[in-house]
Amino acid sequence: MSLQMTNQQEERKMKAQAFRRIALSILCLLVFLCLCVLFVLLYIDQGMKEFRNAGQAPPPIPIVESDVKYYDDPRLNAYEQFLRGEKYAINFISYEDSRSSIHDYWFPYEVAKFTLVDMAGNGQKELIFEVSNTIYIFGYSDDKLVLWYRGASEYLLENGAILELLEYRRPTTSVLGLPKHRNANGNMYEYKEVRIEKGVLSVTTIVRFEKYDSEFNGIFNEFYFDGVHVEKKEWDEKTEKYLSIPPRSEWFIFDRDADKPLILEQALNN
């Protein structure tokens, strides 16, 4: 009888140990699964952050404004301070932020260029900054550096004017009379000049001319000059003086190397 009870106790003990091992294994498995789920969630969250931030510029780099005087001319001094990351510019073409720094347009790994152009013909040069095929025109007004214009690099002409080109889709009429679109078949040009009135720089459209391929065969067959329909020969004659002006060719590499203390010097000595 005593031997039978001992065997039963041993059997119950073995069963309890086996149960504890199984419970511990299940617990370890659950912990492992939880860690795997947590890892996957963190991975997905990081992937979503990268997806949301794709194509977005890095956060702006703060600057410390400086009163260092590089040139006696306040205009040139403001340009130099801006290029060196020591001055903000007033942004007149965006309502998102009233001011911007060089770091809003350029990052150290990018190749950039600049030039000085008397765009208004008043003897005072504007700063043109070019990066990623985009130009930014900065002027100086009321003791402030101001961003006045932004556009594609090829728009800036040698004479200081701007020739904007817009290639777009023109709606046509389908069989059912509903509007439809095809590949880009229209070119619209706007010739603009920079003017300064009461100390304020403005980019004014002087003339607009267009040409269209209404047959969608790659041949332009409709021509307009200042909103008036003209023949191709007349269009060519009137637009030649604008289209024949070459794009701006004199640019200087933007370099903030310590060995070149004055960035504008290369443009001023040219």
> What are 154's two structure tokens?
């090829």
Query: What letter does residue 104 receive in the DSSP assignment?
Result: G
Band (230; pLDDT cuts 50, 70, 90): very high
Nearest in space to 265 (alpha carbons), one of 67, 76, 72, 73: 76
Say whether pLDDT at 256 is over 80. no
Nearest in space to 67 (alpha carbons), one of 143, 138, 146, 126: 143
Please tell me whether residue 178 adopts helix, strand or coil conformation: coil
- Other CB atoms within 10 A of residue 234 CB: 13
> pLDDT per residue over 107-160, tens digit each?
766 788 999 988 877 788 899 998 888 889 998 887 889 888 888 877 888 888
Could you tell me the end-to-end alpha-carbon distance of the chain, in angstroms, rounded to an integer? Answer: 115
Query: What letter does residue 253 receive in the DSSP assignment?
Result: E
Q: Is residue 254 within 8 Å of 129, Cβ to Cβ?
A: yes
Helix (H) or strand (E) holding 183, with range, is: none
Q: What is the pLDDT of residue 183?
A: 43
Q: Is residue 167 within 8 Å of 184, Cβ to Cβ?
A: yes
Higher pLDDT, 170 or 257: 257
Q: Is 246 left (phi over 0), alpha (psi -120 to 50) or beta?
A: beta
> What are 177's two structure tokens?
């009379």
Mean predicted confidence (pLDDT) in 172-178? 46
> pLDDT per residue over 33-83, tens digit each?
877 877 766 766 665 555 445 445 455 566 667 788 889 999 999 999 999
Band (243; pLDDT cuts 50, 70, 90): very high
- Other CB atoms within 10 A of residue 224 CB: 15
Q: Is residue 115 within 8 Å of 123, Cβ to Cβ?
A: no
Q: Is residue 270 within 8 Å of 249, Cβ to Cβ?
A: no
Half-sphere exposure of 92 (CA within 13 A, CB side): 16
Phi, psi of 186 (to 5 degrees): -140, 140
